[in-house]
Structures are given as C-alpha cells and as structure tokens.
Structure 1
C-alpha cells in the first residue's frame, strides 16, 4: 500500500492556517464569553450575593461552550484570511500556472477542517455538557444531581400493546404512576392506578417510596391498596407499613435524568428520549430529538465553512481583514437564521428531527459546491 505523504504545497498551506486559526478561536471565544457571561455574573454578584470565587469558577466553566461555538466560525474566517492573502500575493496564480487546479488548492483546507470537525465533536461530547452541568449547579446553589430532578408532579403512564380479535395491534393504558414530590432520593404522596382490559383494577397509595436496586422493586411505606372489581361495585382494601411493589423504574429515571439538552451528551440524550417515548410527552420528545440531531450535524459545518471560505477567499485580491470578518459574520448569521427557521419546523413536527438538523448543512454545502464549480 502506498504511503500518503503531504506535498510541500500542502505543508505550506497548512502551516499558513494554524496561527490565524488559533487567533480566531481565542478572539471568538473571548468575545462570546464576555458578552454572554460577564454581565450576568456581575448581576448575580450584586443582586444574588454570588461569591466572587464561584463567579470566577462559572466564568471558566463557560469558556468550553463558547470555544465549541468558535471552532466552526474560526475555520470560516481562517480560510477567508489565508486564501485571500495567497490570492493577493499571487501565490495562487503561481500555483495554478503550474497546472494545479483550484480543487487541489483547497484540499489542505478541507483536510484541516475535517480535523477540526473531529475536535468539535469530541469537545461537544466530552467537555461542554459536564462543564455546563457544573456551572448550572453552582449558579443554582445545588451541587448535587437533585438540581436536575423533576421535583414536583412526576407523572408516568405505562402502556402495553394488545391484539384485538380482528388481529389489529393497538396501544392500551396499563398503569399511571403519580408522585406529588421528589427530593432526589425518594418520592412522596404516591398514587398508582392499574387497569386490566380497560377496566380499573387496583389503586395503590403510599406516603413515600424509593427504588430498591437489589430487588428491582419499589419500596412503598405507609399506604393502602384498593382492589376494584365489577366496575366499582366491589372494593376491598388492605393497609401496609412497608411493601415492595413490582413497578417499572422509569418514573425515577424520568425525574432524576431531566436536564437541558445542552447539559447532556448524545448518549444521555438518547436515553432520555427513550424515557420520553414511554411517557408520550410529544412536545419535549420533539425538542430533545431535534437538539440531539443538531449535536451530530453541527460539527460538520466546519468542513462546509472551510469549503466556502477557501473558495470565496481565493477569488479575493485583497487582504482586507475587515472584509473577511464582515463576510464571516454575514455567512454565520445566514447559517444560524436558516438553522433556527428549519429547526423550528422540526420542533412543531413539520420536518423530521434529522431533516431539521441537516437541511441547513445541505443548503450551505450546495452553496459551497456552486461557488467552487463557478470558480
């Protein structure tokens, strides 16, 4: 197998990209975190008595989020600056006079942007969710997992599939689990309603309840069970001090795993989506599905921005940094506006979550390919 080696041209162009990229990442990150975080932290220090040390910690923890946003923008601005400089100094003309096509000239930029795509994806998965988790915990004064729990009105309907006599499979309600409060460890004022063949069968009430990991059952305390027969014509009751109840763990998972999608990685988001599918919460389900799909699609905009930036930059005969910065702002604004509009269509179920996340990328890719072909 032939070993791949970078040519002198590839090494030269890649070398020209590195320093401007580092500068752009630092600049975009600093501007983003300063505008979005400093004013809020100042307000919290004055109005909410947030300790200064905690404010510094939150400030540091918010930096990864804005670095994640800055990486694609930096690819775009770096490609514009580098290729417009090469064009201004006639280096691209010299290379093309040697028979090197524009397609080959932007190849180093595509390779570079692919590397940044992997960096962005890794950053968004391994660093940003945990940093956001920690920052939110400090701001809310809750250092534990209970900050993310649904603390009131936990509602979980359990369904089952049944086959009708004519062979049709339909979904029927099997039970309803309701807890009035959840303190992060146990639930209080629990009511469980169970049905059989669309008939009310049993009602269980309990003062408290917690999940037993060893037995995989709920431990209910100080409650009663009401057995109902013949359409409420016969009701029997029994009281208990402690009782193990074989119900799903899902209500606990649903309550304890509730977070913002920006505080979850893809694996955690998919687990929470599974819980929402069981509950049937359509609105939240669509929101998490769209946001999770966007977590996958967003890093790939680095490659597309690299294509657009290098193609447009190669047509410039000016090294005007103000022009390049203005073009970057215009392209980024157009991308985010398109992403917002199309993403909103996914949130209201007009488009599938995957299409809502990827269509903005496809539009930008089409523009980049058109500009390259035209050049």
Structure 2
C-alpha cells in the first residue's frame, strides 16, 4: 500500500471512497459533518428541554406521572425536534466550516488555484439536498407516528385518555357548486348532517337536511344509523323521511324500520379522526382535506391547505440555510461554536417568524396557501444567492 493511499484513508471517512467527489469536495463535506452533528445534538436538546421537558417535569411533580412514562414520552417527542434541528444544524455547519476555512487562509489558497466561490459551494449544495431528503423522511415516516403515540401514552398514564372518535354532536355541512342566473357559479349547501351521539360504530339521534335535488328537499330523522362497508351506504333504522316541495309544503311522509340511503361517508370519517397536524403525514393531511373541502368551513380548509404546503416547504429550507450559512461563513473569520450558534439562532428565529406571519396571512385568505408556505423559502434563497454573489467579488 502506498503512502498516498494510506494517508487518504486516514484523512477522509470511509464513505468518501464510494462517492464520485473530488478531493476538495470530500474534504469540504468531511468538514461539514462534525459541526452538523454537533448542531443536531445541541438544537434537539434545547428544543426538547423547552418544548417537552419542563411540561413533563410539571406532570411528574403535580399529577404523579411515572418517571418511566415521562422518559418514554420524552423519547417519542425527540423526532419532532430532530426534524426542526436539521435545517438549523445545516446553517451552523456552513457558518463554522467556511469561517474556519477563511480564518486558516485555506480559502485564499483555493482561490489562488483558480477555484471560484461557486465551485466551493457546490459540494455544500449536494450536502444540503441529502439533509433535505433526510428531513422529509423523518417528517413523513417517523415524526407523525411518534407524536401520536406520545399523546396517547401521556393521556393514558394521566387517566385523560380520549376515544379515537368524537362522541357527541357530529356536524357536517356539504356544499355544491351551482350555476347562477347571471351565468356565474356559487356554492350552496347540499346537505346538513347532524348526529347527537356516536359510540364508535353507530350514530344515534340523526337529522339530515338534504337539498341536493332541485325543487325537492328531504328531512331524514332516525334513531340510529350505521355505515355498511360492503354496500357502501348508510343503514338508517327507526326513522321518518319528510319530502318537502319547493313551496315549503310537505309532499310526502314515509316512516321506516330500516332504510338504506346513498349519503356520503364523510361524517363517519370526520368523527373517527382526531389527530393534530403534527400527528399527520402529508397523505393523512390530504385525506383530511378531501373530507372537509366541501364542508363550507373556509377557515379550516385554508388552514389545512397551508399546513400541507408547509409540510412540503419545510425540508427545503435546508438549501436556503445552506446558501446563507456558506455566504456568511465566507465573510467571517474563524467563527467559534458560540458565535456560530448565536448567529444560527438569530437567523432561524427570523425565518420562523416570517414563516408564521406568511402562514397566518395565507390562512386569513390574503395570500394563496402555496405562496404563504413557500414565501420564506424564496426569501431565504434570494438572500443566500445575493450574499454569495457579494462574497465572490
């Protein structure tokens, strides 16, 4: 074995032999990994402490929560804070790595060899894309299930366990789009579904107002109703159907012991779903959106649409943070961990503040949900590119 090959194996990590990267690229990526891992550990610890630990300690002291349960819940909450720590750790790694390279005059040597700033940043973009994929994986596959289990475990231990369904007052409004005499269109109510109680399989005390037929309305009242999975319809029992004409008079009254009706399954699905946003992945959130998109609850619909777009946009902030961190690091001189940590916290605070404000404006209906979710990312990418251009001069 030659001295050069043995030196290369001792300097670069094992994975570098399997990636088609130049010596400079491997060196930069290997310099990024230690501060990135430090950032993940540090920011996750801070997030867990502020977001969960204090509350769990309070539950242990005041409500007698067993320490074993508290520790389990703490571990289950960690994936959520790891997801949030990935972008911040990318920013910290870029700041510390490029400021150290600048402070040790390694960047001067590389620039003297004809390496441009854009070429230096190229391996960091690949690193950011890998972390983006990792963030998306944690956010979709690990975090929702862990958060849901943490909530149910804590509720069960404290005796506050809630059923996985809404027990009372299930209300669902279904809307449809109809043409107006002026040639336009408007949303009008098609059905109003109300059930007084629900035991998990059977609804009780039902009243349905059906306006889906032009010139004819129905009022359906029943003691119980159950969804028939095989037939794909509702089985109403012990009820009455009132058929109302367009002039408001009763046209027909039909009493029944059992009646199968073709009504949407949506009220049952809504009653069976009680997960929070952080307990749903994108597929579950989109399924929830399909359930409420015709309900007429515009505020809830806009909020869910913004949340779905934010689930897509959050992982990609790693790229924006990578550009900003690299550009700032090129202009700093040997930034220590404390300084890099402080700058990272400031930038992350500004990002999440802008994300909160743009999301709130989108939920209020003044911005499209797509724009409200992606606007902070676009702003971060623009700032990163501008700082990078300035650093190259």
* TM value normalised by structure 2: 0.88
In the alignment, does 2:40 pair up with 1:22?
Answer: no
2:259 is paired with a residue whose SS is strand
Moved more, 242-251 or 49-58: 49-58
Q: After TM superposition, give the deviation of residue 255 of structure 1 in Å.
A: 2.2
- From 20, 34, 46, the counterpart of 2:49: 34
In the alignment, does 2:316 pair up with 1:300?
Answer: yes
2:293 is paired with a residue whose SS is helix
Distance 1:71 1:166, change over 3 A: closer
Segments ≥4 residues shifted beyond 6 Å: none
Q: Is the 1:137–1:147 contact (alpha carbons within 8 Å) kept by the matching residues of 2?
A: no
User: In 2, distance between residues paired with 1:12 and 1:135?
Assistant: 40
User: In 2, distance between residues paired with 1:153 and 1:207?
Assistant: 14
- Structure 1: runs of 5+ lacking an equivalent: none
Aligned length: 372
Partner of 1:311: 327
- From 18, 21, 29, the counterpart of 1:6: 21
Q: Is the 2:242–2:250 contact (alpha carbons within 8 Å) kept by the matching residues of 1?
A: no
Q: After TM superposition, give the deviation of residue 260 of structure 1 in Å.
A: 1.6
1:321-340 equivalences in 2 (<5 Å): 321-340=337-356
In the alignment, does 2:73 pair up with 1:62?
Answer: no
User: In 1, distance between residues paired with 2:22 and 2:240?
Assistant: 78
Moved more, 232-241 or 7-16: 232-241
Partner of 1:124: 139
Partner of 2:204: 188
In the alignment, does 2:222 pair up with 1:206?
Answer: yes
Partner of 1:53: 68
Partner of 1:113: 128
1:106 is paired with a residue whose SS is helix
1:228-247 equivalences in 2 (<5 Å): 228-229=244-245, 231-234=247-250, 236-247=252-263
User: In 2, distance between residues paired with 1:234 and 1:6?
Assistant: 79
Partner of 2:390: 374
Distance 1:177 1:291, change over 3 A: same
1:127 is paired with a residue whose SS is helix
1:272-311 equivalences in 2 (<5 Å): 272-311=288-327
Distance 1:170 1:349, change over 3 A: closer
Moved more, 124-133 or 197-206: 197-206
Q: After TM superposition, give the deviation of residue 238 of structure 1 in Å.
A: 3.7
Distance 1:342 1:234, change over 3 A: closer
Q: Is the 2:136–2:315 contact (alpha carbons within 8 Å) kept by the matching residues of 1?
A: yes
Moved more, 362-371 or 158-167: 158-167
In the alignment, does 2:365 pair up with 1:349?
Answer: yes
User: In 2, distance between residues paired with 1:330 and 1:168?
Assistant: 49
Q: After TM superposition, give the deviation of residue 303 of structure 1 in Å.
A: 0.8
Partner of 2:13: none
Partner of 2:107: 92
Partner of 1:248: 264
Partner of 2:377: 361
Q: Is the 2:222–2:237 contact (alpha carbons within 8 Å) kept by the matching residues of 1?
A: yes
* Residues 85-108 of structure 1: per-residue CA shift (max 9 Å, x gap): 111111111111101011111212
* TM value normalised by structure 1: 0.92
Q: Is the 1:258–1:272 contact (alpha carbons within 8 Å) kept by the matching residues of 2?
A: no
* Residues 208-242 of structure 1: per-residue CA shift (max 9 Å, x gap): 22211001111223322233347454464443333
Distance 1:230 1:86, change over 3 A: closer
Q: Is the 1:29–1:70 contact (alpha carbons within 8 Å) kept by the matching residues of 2?
A: yes
User: In 2, distance between residues paired with 1:175 and 1:204?
Assistant: 11
User: In 2, distance between residues paired with 1:260 and 1:205?
Assistant: 32
- Structure 2: runs of 5+ lacking an equivalent: 1-17
